[in-house]
């Protein structure tokens, strides 16, 4: 059985809940020797320091050894080696491969040819399942449930891979989505169609103010990137409209939490960092537990085994 | 196409030689053993010839171009003696020219007549439109899931990009 993780879109509700329970175990006890004697390879054909550090920390805290590369310039890919050859070679050394690639579909292909499980740490604009898993875990952690939540997505909803994956993964949990974005970066029709197909309610907003935010359980902010705009005048016009300021939280629900996949540039005012609604740094920390769960699951380690694990440090 | 011209007779010369009658009935009835591909849109004929490598064929091939058709105005037809195509070849055909009719003839009898339709999956036939797709950057076969047959909508198995087959 191929235990690779390429996308989370195919996961059932049960599988998502199972992984959340496993991540909870790791949150209680992140330091273990559960993976002692195993080798985890992290192949980053595209640099991503944040994701790589999170995966490598997850492996290290479970006692695994980590090999790999962080910079594609040092690999044979620059000498013309195919992805297949690199994957086959590394499969001889490692028990599992975590890979990030700039080409879409690279992880799917690697999972079809590799004799060891592959974890997709992002393939171009396509999928980034470990981010989705940590988002789901954070939502569950802050709300106590994934069911019937009002999730507000703000910023770049057109190119934002994380919001698309989150939207798809939430389909099992009867959410109501609110889309807040400039016209140029509006949620693509494809995903609105997806919502209709799975009976996911969604509301589109032009305004972004205290009254709109008042209905949110989760306020998921993303970065509005200048390079996404063909019309720079348009960018200048909208860039400040999707800034979250402290006073906009005046009517927010007590349970509301602000998430952001990071890096943040200026879309959340720094004064908000100390507000109890701010949760993006804890969210990033959850990436560690979510990735520990994903690595163990891909290696065939079950929730039961994690629960009775005697290697806790 | 140069080497093909010696092996391919045009429909008009064929009617001339065999003396009148409708081109369609003549071409089909003249075959004792083989495959007829009927109702080919005229602008797809040469693609079909290339796709099935008819120019390399040693057996008798008859091609009718710009023939009258009640169903489609004008059509093209190809008659190939002593040759039967496998599913993969027919799947390819369905991509280039959907809605053609396939007629299989053995001993002057039509033993099978059916439309060629899109399969559920296309392997190695179509290129992915997404330049950042792994299939355009790695020596590998493409793989698509057909998600909407009437509209020819397909989704790349690897990058999830959706595209339309030409209608």
CATH of the domain at A209: 3.40.50.1370
Q: A11 or B167: which carries more pLDDT confidence?
A: A11
Mutation for A interface: B131, B153, B156, B160, most A CBs within 10 A: B160
- Report pLDDT for A268: 96
- Report pLDDT for B3: 42
- Whether the per-residue pLDDT at A254 is higher than 90: the answer is yes
SS3 assignment for A252-285: CCCCCEEECCCCCCCCECHHHHHCCCECHHHHHH
In chain A, which residue's Cα lies nearest the Cα of B157? A105
Neighbours of B151 (CB within 10 A): 10
Indicate whether A168 belongs to any domain.
Answer: yes
- Report pLDDT for A70: 92
Q: Which residues of chain B have pLDDT under 50?
A: 1-21, 27-28
- Report pLDDT for B99: 82
Indicate whether A313 belongs to any domain.
Answer: no
Q: Which domain holds residue A302?
A: 13-127+287-307
Contact criterion met (CB < 8 Å) for A108 and B157: yes
Tell me the percentage of chain A whose pLDDT exceeds 90. Answer: 83
Same domain, A203 and A215: yes
Residue B62 vs residues A80, A131, A143, B49, B102: alpha-carbon distances, Å: 46, 59, 71, 11, 15
In chain A, which residue's Cα lies nearest the Cα of B137? A103
What pairs with residue B155 in β-bridges? Answer: B145, B162
- Report pLDDT for B15: 35
| Choice among A11, A100, A164, A223 that is catalytic | A100
Contact criterion met (CB < 8 Å) for B140 and A108: no
Same domain, A80 and A207: no
Q: Which residues have CB under 8 Å from A103's CB, separation 6+?
A: A45, A83, A123, A124, B132, B133, B134, B137, B138, B159
Condensed to tens digits (0 to 9), the pLDDT of residues A37-54 reads 999 999 999 999 999 999
To 5 degrees, how large is the angle CA B64–CA B68–CA B69?
Answer: 105
Indicate whether A4 belongs to any domain.
Answer: no
Same domain, A240 and A135: yes
Mean pLDDT calculated for residue range A227-239: 82
Same domain, A243 and A206: yes
- Report pLDDT for A229: 80
Indicate whether A244 belongs to any domain.
Answer: yes
Q: Work out how many domains chain A is built from and give that number.
A: 2
Q: Is A50 among the catalytic positions?
A: yes
Asked if the C-beta of A10 comes within 8 angstroms of chain B's C-beta atoms, the answer is no
Q: B24 or A106: which carries more pLDDT confidence?
A: A106
Same domain, A137 and A256: yes
- Report pLDDT for B51: 87
- Report pLDDT for B4: 38
Domain ranges of chain B: 2-115, 121-164
- Number of A to B CB contacts under 8 A, please give it: 50
Same domain, A113 and A160: no
- Report pLDDT for A228: 77
Range name among A11-20, A111-120, A164-173, A183-192 with the lowest pLDDT average: A183-192
- Whether the per-residue pLDDT at A2 is higher than 90: the answer is no
- Whether the per-residue pLDDT at A214 is higher than 70: the answer is yes
Q: What DSSP string runs through B117-143? A: ---SEEESSS--S-TTBGGGTSS---E
Same domain, A294 and A279: no
| Choice among A38, A128, A164, A223 that is catalytic | A128
- Report pLDDT for A255: 98
**What fold is seen in the domain B2-115?**
Alpha-Beta Plaits (3.30.70)
Interface of B with A in 99-118 (CB under 8 A): none
- Report pLDDT for B19: 40
Range name among A75-79, A200-204, A299-303 with the lowest pLDDT average: A75-79
Same domain, A270 and A145: yes
Same domain, A88 and A151: no
Q: Which residues have CB under 8 Å from B157's CB, separation 6+?
A: A105, A108, B143, B144, B145
Asked if the C-beta of A193 comes within 8 angstroms of chain B's C-beta atoms, the answer is no
φ, ψ at B66 (rounded to 5°): 60, 45
- Whether the per-residue pLDDT at A60 is higher than 80: the answer is yes
What pairs with residue B106 in β-bridges? Answer: B33, B109
| Mean of all residue pLDDT scores within chain A | 94
Indicate whether A312 belongs to any domain.
Answer: no
Contact criterion met (CB < 8 Å) for B159 and A126: yes
Same domain, A194 and A256: yes
DSSP A187: P
Q: What is the CATH number of domain B121-164?
A: 2.30.30.20
| Choice among A50, A84, A226, A307 that is catalytic | A50
Indicate whether A6 belongs to any domain.
Answer: no
Q: A264 or A39: which carries more pLDDT confidence?
A: A39
Same domain, A259 and A114: no
Residue A303 vs residues A141, A184, B134: alpha-carbon distances, Å: 18, 44, 34
Q: What is the ipTM of this complex?
A: 0.88
Same domain, A295 and A229: no
Q: Judge whether B2-115 and B121-164 match in fold.
A: no
């Amino acid at each position: 059985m191929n235990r690779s993780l390429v996308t989370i879109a195919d996961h059932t509700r049960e599988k998502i809940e199972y992984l959340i329970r496993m991540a909870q175990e790791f949150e209680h006890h992140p330091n273990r020797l559960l993976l002692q004697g195993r080798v985890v390879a992290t192949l980053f054909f595209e640099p991503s320091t944040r994701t790589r550090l999170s995966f490598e920390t997850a492996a290290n805290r479970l006692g695994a050894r980590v090999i790999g590369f962080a910079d594609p310039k040092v690999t044979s890919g620059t000498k013309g080696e195919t992805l297949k050859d690199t994957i086959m070679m590394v499969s001889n050394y490692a028990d599992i491969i975590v890979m990030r690639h700039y080409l879409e579909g690279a992880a799917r292909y690697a999972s079809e040819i590799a004799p060891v499980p592959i974890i997709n740490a992002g393939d171009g604009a396509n999928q980034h399942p470990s981010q989705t898993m940590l988002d789901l875990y954070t939502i569950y952690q802050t709300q106590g449930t994934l069911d019937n939540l009002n999730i507000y997505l703000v910023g770049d909803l057109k190119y934002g891979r994380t919001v698309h994956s989150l939207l798809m993964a939430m389909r099992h949990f009867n959410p109501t989505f609110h889309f807040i974005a400039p016209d140029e970066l509006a949620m693509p029709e494809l995903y609105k169609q997806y919502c209709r197909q799975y009976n996911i309610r969604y509301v589109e907003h032009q305004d972004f103010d205290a009254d709109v935010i008042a209905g949110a359980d989760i306020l998921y902010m993303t970065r509005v990137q200048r390079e996404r705009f063909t019309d720079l005048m348009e960018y200048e016009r909208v860039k400040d409209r999707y800034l979250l300021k402290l006073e906009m939280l005046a009517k927010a629900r007590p349970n509301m939490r602000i998430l952001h996949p990071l890096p943040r540039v200026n879309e959340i005012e720094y004064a908000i960092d100390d507000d109890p609604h701010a949760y993006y740094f804890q969210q990033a920390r959850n990436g560690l537990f979510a990735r520990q769960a994903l690595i163990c699951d891909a290696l065939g380690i079950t929730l039961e085994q994690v629960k009775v694990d005697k290697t806790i440090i | 196409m140069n080497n093909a011209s010696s092996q391919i007779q045009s429909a008009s010369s064929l009617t001339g030689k065999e003396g009148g009658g409708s081109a369609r009935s003549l071409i089909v009835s003249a075959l004792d053993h083989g495959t007829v591909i009927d109702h080919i849109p005229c602008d797809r004929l040469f693609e079909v010839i290339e796709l099935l490598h008819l120019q390399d064929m040693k057996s008798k091939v008859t091609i009718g171009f710009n023939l009258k058709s009640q169903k489609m105005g004008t059509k093209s037809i190809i008659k190939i003696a002593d040759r039967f195509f496998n599913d993969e070849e027919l799947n390819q055909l369905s991509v280039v020219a959907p809605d053609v009719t396939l007629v299989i003839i053995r001993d002057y009898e039509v033993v099978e007549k059916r439309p060629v339709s899109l399969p559920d999956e296309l392997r190695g036939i179509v290129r992915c439109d997404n330049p950042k797709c792994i299939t355009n950057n790695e020596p590998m076969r493409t793989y698509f899931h057909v998600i909407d047959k009437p509209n020819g909508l397909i989704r790349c198995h690897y990058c999830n990009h959706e595209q339309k087959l030409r209608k």
